[in-house]
Chains A and B, each alone.
Chain A
Amino acid sequence: MPKILEEPNSTAKIAKPCSHCRLPTYAHSEDETVFCCNGCMGAYALIHELGLESYYVLRTTQNGTAIESGEAQCSRTEILEDLSAAGVAVQTMPDGMCSVRLAVDGLHCAACTWLIERIQPTLPGLLSAQVRMSDRTIELVYDPKRTQPVDVSRKLAKLGYSLTPWTVDCEDNRGFKEQQQEHLIGIAVATFLAINAMWIGIALYSGESTGMHAGHELFLRWVGTLLAVAAAIFPGRIFFHTAWQAIRTRTPHVDIPVALSLLMGVVGSIVGAARGFGHIYFDSLASLILLLRIGRFIQFRVQYRTSLSLDRLLRWNMVTATRLELDGTRKTVPASRLQVGDRIEIGPGETIPADGIVISGNSSVDTSLLTGETFPVFIGIGDPVVGGTSNVSASVEVAITAAGEMSRVGKLMELVRNAASHRTPSIQAADRVSKWFVLVVLLLAVGTWGAWSLYADVSTATEHTMALLTIACPCALALAAPLVITVALGRASRRQIWIRDGDCLERLATPGMLWLDKTGTLTSGHVSVLEWHGTDEDLVHATALENSVHHVIANAITGYAHQVLNQVPNALVAELEQHLGKGVRGRVDGVEVAVGDEAWMREQGAEITGNWLAKQRSAFSKNRSVVWVSVDGEVRGMFELGDSLRCDVVEALRALVARGWRLGVLSGDRQEIVDGLVDLLRGKDVSIDFAFGQQSPEEKLEVIRRGKNDRNRPTVMVGDGVNDAAALAMADVGIAIRSGSGQSLAAAPVFLANHRLDSVVELMDAARSVVRGIRRCFAASLIYNTVTISLAIAGWIHPLIAAVLMPISGLTVLAMAMSTNAFSERRVK
């Protein structure tokens, strides 16, 4: 891509954004239409061809997010050719039309929705195309005789969107719809009942002060009570339901005190109505149910959204395979449908979908996700390959020996599932407090009633007890923790930190042991040139050769050249010759250039001598590998290659140490390399307590398990690959940092979609403010309850005031929860 930026318009000097994607590029004049690459030119032409120019106006109406490289470019249109094989449910309507729901990848903003829906008139036979933003899906209604989803998919692929099977199965999806409807219906009914109960309450309050006909008063009381009881029976029954289940399974649950308080309200209202005088409770009961239902609905939406985003991320990682059929044709199938004995073709850059043996072709395989090893491994005919790793340089044919659950990745996933089910259930502090709170309040109520009925009469006693029960508000306590956590989760997801399990925020608040994976977490995870010994001229020569080769090391060298040299001049390469695993040679601008390892140099007749040997030794001592460059049979330069540290690592780790965390490195890579890295970090004032290399996934799991047993402080694992997945699931909190593998995402309750290590620091800070926020809410609620309950016991609080105070205390907690500054924008520099 940078070539197009520099070459065709090398004389053009006016900086102008690309007419399609707005990346900076250059133009000859201000009003010229320019493109940064051919892809954009093609997309621009297609959009105009379809008459969709308004896209360029529309896209400014809402901010989109930049597409990360590689994310949208995967075209998997073929997978939709056989819908049943891809696991897509097609609904046939009575009139013969078919309807299907598919996931859209690459959907970012309002303009995308518009652009995609405008595809409908351009395809005959496509009756409707409706995009749903909330779960990034599209519903196609089409005439199966005239068109097929795969045609839509091909057309959309040209616009840069890809359609994939909607992995959340229909059952789940319908479940969401029903649940949301249930919530909305609950809120609607609760609102109706609460508002009506309230105005009846107002009538009674005003009647009390101005005088009112006794018959009217009784009537209003009974109607209000009926409304409140209806509120408890219809919208309020979910609280009784969950509370009853929690009691049956003997697990503490927030809903137990909530249900108890509702029950007291119901009893209070009925007693009040039956007595026909004294204080009314039905209005506060009805409005309480409304507030609780709204809270539940917000919580439900946030949780659903978080799980959807995760599902979307997992879908990007959905692996497909090209199967070679017996008749010689190629067919794209989901990896899950591969069987032992199938022959598949794996192109460069693709993920190997199952375990197998190479039957034709040579290539190299990047195993960093599975083993943590940085350098690619060369494979030839007869070599085994492991699913989950990725093919780097050339196309190979593989015969499958184990697929699905029997493959190595499948077995690792089994470990992950086991580890995840072992996660200790954390009991929220709110539950513990609320349980005691309810007990204490009940005891106090019994005491108050007993004492007042001894010293005064039964009616006074009942009145004071009711005031006590009304004013004592366990809901504020029970709501505080979930609310603060929910607010934090919502804010975090806006910052691309996906937290699936709110409990882990509480666990992260106290510093403990933090284990970090090396490859891909501390380091960038791919090979890059760390140092070049030689002249610029020779670097240009080497780059010219490597430019025509597809290989990780070649990419590292060209990338480095583009970084150091301002401009890489074009050189003519002839007689290019490539030997996999050794090196390349060819004529560049008339001189014989070779790039490769030591043996390759010797084959070219270039001898590595004195000075160079010393440089090589020093590179080896730093655990770097070396690639040589020779010109006309003479060694002229040396590249030092290695895995470079991610730029934000040192600062992030220092910040973590400053917050009291102890750090350890757990890597599948060789011990020397891990030690080298740790020494480098220690040199930069980052104290690392442990460094374990050569860890298999099982050993990593063991380290985490032992750490967990050792102390009370949390054991946290930060990792990215398949080899970390089990450890991520076993840790008190697992943090997945790169979307390299779906497995690690599935295993970890926290996923940093922004791939930044400093988000871990942010997460720890947020966890602390969440816990502080919860404590603040607790303290406020406890103080309120202690003071008001004491006053109520003493008989100083009129139940009317109690009824007003109770919702106020709830609202205060709500306001305090919302003001917790976890993940808030203010905290970001």
Chain B
Amino acid sequence: MSVLYVALPVALLLGGSALLACLACIRSGQYDDLESPSVKLLNDEIKQP
């Protein structure tokens, strides 16, 4: 049996788990506000001189 039949599903599974992690992030609301974080980043910099 060729290694391809194992490697391909394994690769897909690995990618799929990363996809699931990404979906969990989206569902948790991390991407809900795409504008404010970029602005707040500047604020943090000021706090630590």
Interface positions of A (Cβ within 8 A of B): 54, 57-58, 61-62, 110, 113-114, 117, 130-134, 177, 180-181, 184-185, 188-189, 192, 196, 200, 213, 215-216, 219-220, 223
Contact = CB atoms under 8 A, between A and B. Distances in A.
B10 interface: no
A336 to B, nearest CB: 30
A204 B41 CA distance: 45
A55 to B, nearest CB: 10
A219 B5 contact: yes
Contacts of B46: 54, 57-58, 114
B18 to A, nearest CB: 8
A184 B15 contact: no
5 residue pairs, one from A and one from B, having the closest CB atoms: A134-B35, A133-B35, A110-B39, A133-B36, A192-B19
B43 A58 contact: yes
A723 B29 CA distance: 44
20 contacts: A57-B46, A62-B39, A62-B42, A110-B43, A113-B40, A114-B43, A132-B36, A133-B33, A133-B36, A133-B39, A181-B27, A181-B31, A189-B19, A189-B23, A192-B19, A196-B12, A200-B8, A216-B4, A219-B8, A220-B4
Contacts of A192: 15-16, 18-19
Contacts of B40: 110, 113-114
B16 A110 contact: no
Given A62-B42, A219-B5, A113 B36 contact: yes
Nearest to B47: A54
A133 B39 CA distance: 8
Given A113-B36, A188-B23, A188-B26, 5 more contacts: A113-B43, A133-B39, A185-B27, A188-B22, A192-B19
Contact of B34 (A58, A110, A134): A134
A181 B34 CA distance: 12
A219 B4 contact: yes
B20 to A, nearest CB: 10
A213 B23 contact: no
A223 B10 CA distance: 13
B2 A131 contact: no
Contacts of A110: 39-40, 42-43
Contact of A196 (B5, B15, B22): B15
A192 B26 CA distance: 15
A184 B26 contact: yes
Contact of A113 (B23, B29, B31, B39): B39
Contact of A177 (B12, B18, B32): B32
Interface residues on B, range: 20 to 34
B33 A132 contact: yes
A132 B8 CA distance: 43
A58 B42 contact: yes
B9 to A, nearest CB: 8
Contacts, number: 72
Given A133-B36, A192-B19, A216 B2 contact: yes
B5 A134 contact: no
A184 B27 CA distance: 10
A188 B18 CA distance: 10
Contacts of B39: 62, 110, 113, 133
A192 B12 CA distance: 9
A185 B23 contact: yes
A114 B35 CA distance: 14
Contacts of A220: 4, 8
Contacts of B33: 132-134
Which of A131, A181, A220 gathers the greatest number of chain B CB atoms within 10 Å? A181
Interface of B: 2, 4-5, 8, 11-12, 15-16, 18-19, 22-23, 26-27, 29, 31-36, 39-40, 42-43, 46
Contacts of A113: 36, 39-40, 43
A494 to B, nearest CB: 15
Contacts of B2: 213, 215-216
B46 to A, nearest CB: 5
Contacts of B29: 177
A132 B37 CA distance: 9
A220 B26 CA distance: 31
A196 B14 CA distance: 12
Contacts of B8: 200, 219-220, 223
B42 A181 contact: no
Contacts of B19: 188-189, 192
A131 B26 contact: no
Contacts of A213: 2
Which of A58, A113, A133 gathers the greatest number of chain B CB atoms within 10 Å? A133
Given A181-B31, A181-B32, A61 B42 contact: yes
A114 B2 CA distance: 60
Contacts of A185: 23, 26-27
Contacts of B22: 188
B49 to A, nearest CB: 10
Contacts of B42: 58, 61-62, 110, 114
Nearest to B46: A54
A184 to B, nearest CB: 5
Contacts of B43: 58, 110, 113-114, 117
Nearest to A189: B19
A120 to B, nearest CB: 13
A216 B6 CA distance: 12
A307 to B, nearest CB: 16
B1 to A, nearest CB: 10
A286 to B, nearest CB: 13
A130 B12 CA distance: 40
Contacts of B18: 192
Contact of A180 (B12, B16, B31): B31
Contacts of A180: 31-32
A223 to B, nearest CB: 6
Contact of B26 (A62, A181, A219): A181
Contacts of A130: 36
A220 B40 CA distance: 47
Contacts of A58: 42-43, 46
Contacts of A188: 19, 22-23, 26
Contacts of B35: 132-134
A130 B27 CA distance: 20
A57 B35 CA distance: 21
Nearest to A199: B11
Nearest to A226: B12
Contacts of A131: 36
Nearest to B34: A134
B31 A184 contact: yes
A222 to B, nearest CB: 11
A216 B11 CA distance: 16
B34 to A, nearest CB: 7
B15 to A, nearest CB: 6
A753 B42 CA distance: 29
A58 B26 CA distance: 31
A369 to B, nearest CB: 34
Nearest to B40: A113
Contacts of B16: 192
A131 B33 CA distance: 10
A113 B5 CA distance: 54
A223 B5 CA distance: 10
Contacts of B11: 196
A135 B39 CA distance: 14
Contacts of A219: 4-5, 8
Which of B18, B32, B34 gathers the greatest number of chain A CB atoms within 10 Å? B32
A111 B40 CA distance: 9
A349 to B, nearest CB: 34
Contacts of B27: 181, 185
Which of A114, A117, A130, A200 gathers the greatest number of chain B CB atoms within 10 Å? A114
A794 B8 CA distance: 38
Which of A113, A192, A215, A223 gathers the greatest number of chain B CB atoms within 10 Å? A192
